[in-house]
Chain A
């Protein structure tokens, strides 16, 4: 009889310990997610930490450990931003669900890649299973700030237009009429036509499928090269007076016409 009571208590202890762990984790997450300290406040904290430790030798070790960790993380992060060209200007997250095996967090990100700015929101589901932790992104929504190109933001978030078209069948043709059809411009025209072909390629990469299929990875992998190309194109356009059009057609109808007109 007694051993039964013991078991009941022991079970309750185990479940309480688990619950406490979960609640403490939620509280910490919430603290982390709902606070923000600026760089100055960080520096001030380091200084006041140093003041607190005046005289206590053992505290210095942990302070220098923290400082070293901070520095190493900041160096890695600034390297990554420089290397990829992607600067994140703000990041916030909120834990929506947290159980023993499952955590769902909503992330809000904003940043820019060269002259293109973006804002993203997505949910990240992390699950603990035998093989480790798995991560899945859902509910991805992307807003591209027109860095001068509102077409891009349309590409990224347009949901239904291309749904029925088969992207593989998209054919495009480039027609150029140059105001100034001098011989020396013909090479440049070819160059421009290549740029438009690339634009079609990029727009396919960015197309609605990016948002619909939650592919954050694809978006970012294309973003860097697109941003680079975009700047290149912008510079090139400034040199030319060209009337051009790119027509997208599929088997049934043409549903996208772009007119790029540069007049100075």
Chain B
């Protein structure tokens, strides 16, 4: 190498490297700055939310204290602005309508008539609801509805709709509730006793004919039982006809069990019947 001679290309390469290093350092610094800012923002947000949360907790505690202390209204009515009073009334009316829903019926007046909503429930558990949009201008007509096709809506309407709307809705509600109840029992059975059920539950869309096999254990052996449930009364969620049968080679004692089960199925909801003989063995 020649002493003292500095090549331009070396200098440039060196400068380039320094520039790059500088650039990278600047980027890194920027990144770190952004990160710091983000952290600071998050920290501030957490502080803000914590404050909000603590204020709410204090408000609730005060409310609770007032409720325990005196018998009068716990909230100071003066705190309510006129708008808030109206909103209170609206919420309170909506709550009342929800109570009506719980009693089985809802209604909304429309320009053309009324839209009824029939709610269904089985022993305290609310199942679906069905709506009927009625026109009441001249004669009563069903404009739209969400009643399933296998419910004889047309027949019920032909019988009662023009003469007695209450009766019409009552009969329809009976059928819908019974259908919902039968379906609920079958669903509960499949949900909670699937280990005892062999194969699939055969049923029709109205859920008034159910056929399935289930296992019954006797002396550490399991025997398949077959059961056929017919719900002859469409307004009822208990079967009118029950046939429980076991195989011909099953021990004689099982015929007694079959009869006992048959009786249970006639008297109580499916899933409860299963629960009862599952626990007694």
* B168 CB to nearest chain A CB (Å): 12
Stretch at the interface among A27-35, A172-180, A196-204, A240-248: A27-35
Which chain B residues in 80-115 approach chain A with CB under 8 Å? 80, 82-83, 85-97, 99-100, 102-109, 114
A115 within 8 A of partner (CB): no
CA distance A76 to B101 in the complex (A): 12
B198 within 8 A of partner (CB): no
In the bound complex, residues from chain B placing their C-beta under 8 Å from that of A70 are 86, 89-90, 93
CA distance A231 to B86 in the complex (A): 39
B28 within 8 A of partner (CB): no
A236 within 8 A of partner (CB): no
In the bound complex, residues from chain A placing their C-beta under 8 Å from that of B120 are 217
Q: B59 touching A79 by the CB < 8 A rule?
A: no
Instruction: Using CB atoms, name the residue of chain A closest to B66.
Output: A34
B251 within 8 A of partner (CB): no
A36 within 8 A of partner (CB): yes
In the bound complex, residues from chain A placing their C-beta under 8 Å from that of B63 are 27, 30-31, 34
A2 within 8 A of partner (CB): yes
Interface range, B side: 35 or more
A107 within 8 A of partner (CB): yes
Given that A73-B94, A225-B170 are known contacts, is A215 also in contact with B103, CB under 8 Å in the complex?
A: no
Q: A76 touching B97 by the CB < 8 A rule?
A: yes
Given that A9-B46, A23-B53, A66-B87 are known contacts, is A76 also in contact with B108, CB under 8 Å in the complex?
A: yes
A84 within 8 A of partner (CB): yes
Q: B93 touching A74 by the CB < 8 A rule?
A: yes
* A147 CB to nearest chain B CB (Å): 18
In the bound complex, residues from chain B placing their C-beta under 8 Å from that of A52 are 82
A151 within 8 A of partner (CB): no
Q: Is the interface of B mostly helix, strand, loop or mixed?
A: helix
A86-97 toward B: CB 8 Å interface, digit per residue (1/0)? Answer: 101001010000
Q: Of A19, A35, A107, A225, which is in contact with the most chain B CB atoms at under 10 Å from its CB?
A: A35
Size of chain A's interface in residues, with CB distance under 8 A? Answer: 69
B281 within 8 A of partner (CB): no
Given that A35-B88, A76-B109 are known contacts, is A12 also in contact with B46, CB under 8 Å in the complex?
A: yes
Q: B94 touching A84 by the CB < 8 A rule?
A: no
* A50 CB to nearest chain B CB (Å): 9
Given that A79-B109, A140-B124, A217-B103 are known contacts, is A37 also in contact with B89, CB under 8 Å in the complex?
A: yes
A80 within 8 A of partner (CB): yes
Q: B74 touching A34 by the CB < 8 A rule?
A: yes
Q: Is the interface of A mostly helix, strand, loop or mixed?
A: helix
- Give the residue of B80, B86, B92, B123 whose beta carbon is less than 8 angstroms from that of A215: B123
A229 within 8 A of partner (CB): no
CA distance A216 to B114 in the complex (A): 24
CA distance A26 to B56 in the complex (A): 10
In the bound complex, residues from chain A placing their C-beta under 8 Å from that of B43 are 9
B73 within 8 A of partner (CB): yes
Q: A31 touching B85 by the CB < 8 A rule?
A: no
- Give the residue of B92, B108, B177 whose beta carbon is less than 8 angstroms from that of A217: B177
CA distance A45 to B244 in the complex (A): 67
A153-196 toward B: CB 8 Å interface, digit per residue (1/0)? Answer: 00000000000001010000000000000000000000000000
CA distance A225 to B171 in the complex (A): 12
Q: B124 touching A83 by the CB < 8 A rule?
A: no
- Give the residue of A27, A88, A214 whose beta carbon is less than 8 angstroms from that of B59: A27
Q: A37 touching B85 by the CB < 8 A rule?
A: yes
Given that A6-B42, A215-B123 are known contacts, is A107 also in contact with B99, CB under 8 Å in the complex?
A: yes
Given that A52-B82, A70-B86, A221-B170 are known contacts, is A37 also in contact with B124, CB under 8 Å in the complex?
A: no
Q: B77 touching A83 by the CB < 8 A rule?
A: no
In the bound complex, residues from chain B placing their C-beta under 8 Å from that of A9 are 39, 42-43, 45-46
Which chain A residues in 218-257 approach chain B with CB under 8 Å? 220-221, 224-225
Q: B56 touching A20 by the CB < 8 A rule?
A: yes
- B→A interface (CB under 8 Å): 35, 38-39, 42-43, 45-46, 49-50, 52-53, 56-57, 59-60, 63-64, 67, 73-75, 77, 80, 82-83, 85-97, 99-100, 102-109, 114, 119-121, 123-126, 166, 170, 173-174, 177, 266-267
Knowing that A73-B94, A79-B109 are A-B contacts, what are 8 other residue pairs whose CB atoms are under 8 Å apart, sorted by A's residue number? A27-B56, A36-B73, A42-B86, A77-B100, A80-B106, A135-B125, A168-B266, A224-B166
* Interchain Cβ contacts under 8 Å between A and B, 21 examples: A5-B39, A6-B35, A9-B45, A13-B49, A20-B52, A23-B60, A27-B60, A27-B63, A30-B63, A30-B75, A31-B75, A34-B67, A35-B80, A48-B82, A66-B86, A80-B106, A86-B103, A91-B95, A135-B102, A137-B102, A220-B104
